[in-house]
Amino acid sequence: MVNIRALVAGNKSGRLVPASIPIGNLRDDEVLVRITHCGVCRSDLTRVRSIDRPSAPLIAGHEIIGEIVRAGQGIRESRVGTRVGIGWQSASCGRCPWCSQGQEHLCLAQEETCVGRQGGFATHIKVQAQFAIPIPDVLPSAHAAPLMCAGITVFSPILRHAGRTRPRVAVVGIGGLGHLALQFLRALGCQADAFSTSPSKEEDARAFGAAGFFCLDDGDALDKMSSTYDFILSTTPALSDVTGLLRMLRPRGVLCLAGLPRERVVFAVEELIGFQKSIEGSPIGSPGDIAEMLKTAVEHGVSPRIECFPMSDANRALERLAGNQIRYRAVLVQDLETGE
């Protein structure tokens, strides 16, 4: 049994406090990773500050970069020393139809990295080896971290709907997810427009690759975009009524919700029935998808805009995130004592 250092949310205040916790023995199919960087996702903030958190203590964090320092008996010892990234998923069953097809992220028995188990706000983590994805040498760790969740969350649906057909695309919400979506769409040769409630983000959006920029609060502008897009990727949690976005789709267009809305989503069903439009959600992606995303990021210079904090200062990072003061991703840099 190994003890590690971690930042724990153990009460409703949401404040993280340092603690020493047991990590347990490695299973044959697991690796132990010494964490060097961990991104801060809005879902981490939600879980840390949730008043109905199902169990405590909670260790958040699922955009992890680190080095494999130990391997289970079923894993090649040569993997020790490899720099890897870990995202939202840390295990799957390996036997179901989804796992057999290389779609492990759809496994009904999957384990999430920081749900019911320890996450990345810590010195070490253990995960199933296939979910510790090698990081290309040229990709800096601080910039690789947000790609492990934010990056794959947008890359996966883009690859399905826009990676090969080059449709007309809109990205709604220019934040931690949206600024990466625009870069990946540009990398794949797609023309994309950006929609935001913040006019001040226009310059950034165009720098990230947007061909056009529109304010979500401008009803007239939205009306003019009726039947314009084949694929709309919504990354904002602020929208509850998506009828206006559906009207912007062409026949057989797809609206993908990648950002988890704060409220229940409503829409006019006739917008779906009339022209065979559809709404889908998108989780993360498979280990194979993540590897392809990292390769694309390296080849085309896709890079998150980040603000770094010492891991011991994670509370300040969460406070800035809660206040919408981060543009566009926060990353914790390891400074906790490892105890080694």
Statement: residue 282 has pLDDT above 90: no
How far apart (Å, rounded) are the C-alpha atoms in residues 156 and 257?
12
- Picking from 27-31, 161-165, 298-302, which range would have the lowest pLDDT averaged per residue? 161-165
Closest CA to 294 of 98, 157, 92, 148: 148
Q: Does residue 184 have a pLDDT over 70?
A: yes
Q: What band does 3 get if pLDDT is binned at 50, 70 and 90?
A: confident
Per-residue pLDDT tens over the stretch 135-157: 999 999 999 999 999 999 999 99
Backbone angles phi, psi at 17, to 5 degrees: -130, 145
Q: Is residue 172 very low, low, confident or very high in pLDDT (cuts 50, 70, 90)? A: very high
Who wins on pLDDT, 263 or 276? Answer: 276
Per the CB < 8 A criterion, the answer to whether 201 and 174 are in contact is: yes
Between 79 and 10, the more confident residue is 79
Q: What residue ranges define each of the domains in the chain, with the CATH number in brackets?
A: 3-149+285-291+303-333 (3.90.180.10), 150-281 (3.40.50.720)
- Confidence category of residue 339, pLDDT binned at 50, 70, 90: low
pLDDT at residue 97, rounded to an integer: 97
- Residue 217 clears pLDDT 70, i.e. is over it: yes
- What's phi and psi for 224, nearest 5 deg? -70, -20
Q: Is the pLDDT of residue 162 over 80?
A: yes
Choice between 217 and 301, residue whose per-residue pLDDT is larger: 301
Tell me the pTM.
0.94
Express each pLDDT in 287-333 by its tens digit: 999 999 999 999 999 999 999 999 999 999 999 999 999 999 999 99
Q: Among 45-49, 108-112, 200-204, which stretch is predicted with the lowest mean pLDDT?
A: 45-49
Question: Measuring CA to CA, which residue among 5, 39, 31, 6 is closest to residue 140?
Answer: 39
pLDDT score of 54: 52
Element housing 330 (H / E): strand 329-333
User: Lowest mean pLDDT: which of 7-11, 90-94, 217-221?
Assistant: 217-221
Write down the pLDDT at residue 165: 74
Mean confidence (pLDDT) of the chain? 92
Give bridge partners of residue 37 from the DSSP assignment.
Answer: 65, 333
Helix (H) or strand (E) holding 90: strand 89-91
Confidence label for 12 from pLDDT (cuts 50, 70 and 90): low
pLDDT for position 24: 85
Strands 329-333 and 306-310 come out as: parallel
